[in-house]
Amino acid sequence: MPLLGLLPRRAWASLLSQLLRPPCASCTGAVRCQSQVAEAVLTSQLKAHQEKPNFIIKTPKGTRDLSPQHMVVREKILDLVISCFKRHGAKGMDTPAFELKETLTEKYGEDSGLMYDLKDQGGELLSLRYDLTVPFARYLAMNKVKKMKRYHVGKVWRRESPTIVQGRYREFCQCDFDIAGQFDPMIPDAECLKIMCEILSGLQLGDFLIKVNDRRIVDGMFAVCGVPESKFRAICSSIDKLDKMAWKDVRHEMVVKKGLAPEVADRIGDYVQCHGGVSLVEQMFQDPRLSQNKQALEGLGDLKLLFEYLTLFGIADKISFDLSLARGLDYYTGVIYEAVLLQTPTQAGEEPLNVGSVAAGGRYDGLVGMFDPKGHKVPCVGLSIGVERIFYIVEQRMKTKGEKVRTTETQVFVATPQKNFLQERLKLIAELWDSGIKAEMLYKNNPKLLTQLHYCESTGIPLVVIIGEQELKEGVIKIRSVASREEVAIKRENFVAEIQKRLSES
């Protein structure tokens, strides 16, 4: 298979150039139909179908169809992500779309109410999976697997209020990479950050930064600031909003809604404004309060080691130790991280994008143990690529630039200038298919030549083979380049070889 990761930037550039056709090529017929699909879907989601009162034709709330245009963009992006996961030795796996309800309960904190439950039709109580991490932990415990490096690409479902404009849906795709097993500290953790860097660089989304912190530092900070232990998770969830809310609003929430003493909130405020490189780690080691907390010291020790490995990987400049990073999910136990785009990729004429984080993850050493009858732990660290947001960014860019995308890969079109050549066309196209060449023809007995050539131009097919009376008489096939409109006659018996030669050269 092609090494998509080989020189990621250049590979991606070449992918994009394959993917994108010049905006001047007009896009008609079936292709035009498709390019309107996304809008049609939205429209039909917004307004009920009035002609048939008893039955609205739509997709369920918060979901959508993926048109061929969407699929092409997705396929290219997922190929790049998966080839990076494979480059790091990960195995693929999959789990069912639904799990026993009890497998998922008490894993997601406040968000459990957002789960889709299945109707009780006489059997087990089931829920659609909410992420890929809990099913992975269940898999490890169930099969007593103590060590595994795996990736998993799949849909998950959450009953959130859909904010479709930012690319958030109730059904969405996740791309996870995780390393399970007991290893020497920070080596797998550093690899997770390396993977995030490789993917975000490879996708050419612009400059990015990965914020890093450690759950133990967060908890230690809470402890030394005087947060009661019972409030740790609630305050953690407030802190997690700092990327979307100003400090004064977060402070207000903590004090007024969550009953934190104002002076405790202010002490936290001093910490969460700190971010920097490895020197901030050193500085925190000297911090008079934090250095008194055993947990925080453990976290700081690991971060120091992590930065050492990140330097060896050549990515330390992409990483920022950020005390405001908290991560909402309950199950994290150690290092946590989140990648953000440094500049919204706004170019002339583009609307500003607010896409939030594009990748995130962390260490969760306790989750597998929750599924093990004897509580045996399997330490895990992993990451999730926010592919839906990435799809959205790439699609928006293409839309702004008016870039069209080929939704088929057809290489050769079989045409005729005369009537009554269906049989010859069928014979020719079968030869092409049997030789592995991607070929199409019109499903008409007697199509017009102009209609056939127009189909090639509108769908981006580069080559046409033409069979007509003259060609039949002379025992040749005409090969036409759609771009240059040049035609050459090739002996019937050589035409497949000639086409293969041309395709391999292009």
Answer yes or no: is 178 a known binding residue.
yes
The stretch near a second copy (CB under 8 A) out of 5-13, 277-285, 354-362, 489-497 is: 5-13
Answer yes or no: is 158 a known binding residue.
yes
Cβ neighbours of 473 (radius 10 Å) = 8
Least spacing, CB of residue 137 vs a second copy, in Å: 10
Least spacing, CB of residue 416 vs a second copy, in Å: 13
Nearer to a second copy, 34 or 283 (CB): 34
Nearer to a second copy, 63 or 396 (CB): 63
The stretch near a second copy (CB under 8 A) out of 100-108, 287-295, 316-324, 387-395 is: 100-108
Nearer to a second copy, 192 or 272 (CB): 192
CA separation (Å) from 307 to 17, 69, 190, 281?
36, 41, 8, 9
Tell me which residues in 298-317 interact with a second copy (CB under 8 A).
309, 312-314
The stretch near a second copy (CB under 8 A) out of 112-120, 205-213, 344-352, 474-482 is: 112-120
Pairing of strands 171-180, 148-157: antiparallel
Please answer whether residues 171 and 130 qualify as being in contact, where contact means their C-beta atoms are separated by less than 8 angstroms.
Answer: no
Answer yes or no: is 129 a known binding residue.
no
Give SS3 for 1.
coil
Q: Is 46 in the site for a second copy (CB under 8 A)?
A: no
For helices 278-286 and 294-312, angle between their N-to-C axes, nearest 10 degrees:
160
Long-range contacts of 347-352 (CB under 8 A, 24+ apart): 347/397, 347/400, 349/400, 350/396, 350/397, 350/400, 351/396, 351/400
CA distance 271 to 287: 10
Binding pattern to a second copy, positions 335-364, x when CB under 8 A? ------------------------------
Total residues at the site for a second copy (CB under 8 A)? 118
Tell me which residues in 366-395 interact with a second copy (CB under 8 A).
371, 373-374
Answer yes or no: is 174 a known binding residue.
yes
Q: Is 397 in the site for a second copy (CB under 8 A)?
A: no
Answer yes or no: is 337 a known binding residue.
no
Least spacing, CB of residue 363 vs a second copy, in Å: 13
What tokens appear for 446 in the block?
């007697």
Give SS3 for 255.
helix
In total, the chain counts a number of residues equal to 506
CA distance 447 to 449: 6
Q: Which amino acid is at 221?
A: M
Tell me which residues in 217-276 interact with a second copy (CB under 8 A).
none
Tell me which residues in 53-72 interact with a second copy (CB under 8 A).
55-61, 63-68, 70-72
Tell me which residues in 405-464 interact with a second copy (CB under 8 A).
407-410, 422-423, 426-427, 430, 433-440, 443-445
- Choose among 172, 174, 170, 166: nearest CA to 61: 170
Alpha-carbon Rg for the chain in angstroms: 28
CA distance 231 to 245: 20
Answer yes or no: is 270 a known binding residue.
no
- Choose among 125, 117, 177: nearest CA to 153: 177
For a second copy, the binding residue among 20, 37, 353, 449 (CB under 8 A) is 37
What tokens appear for 353 in the block?
């994008």
Binding pattern to a second copy, positions 144-183, x when CB under 8 A? xxxxxxx----x-x-x-----------x-------x-x-x
The stretch near a second copy (CB under 8 A) out of 50-58, 276-284, 394-402, 480-488 is: 50-58
User: Which residues are part of a known binding site?
Assistant: 131-133, 158, 174, 178, 327, 331-332
User: Which residues are part of a known binding site for L-histidine?
Assistant: 131-133, 158, 174, 178, 327, 331-332
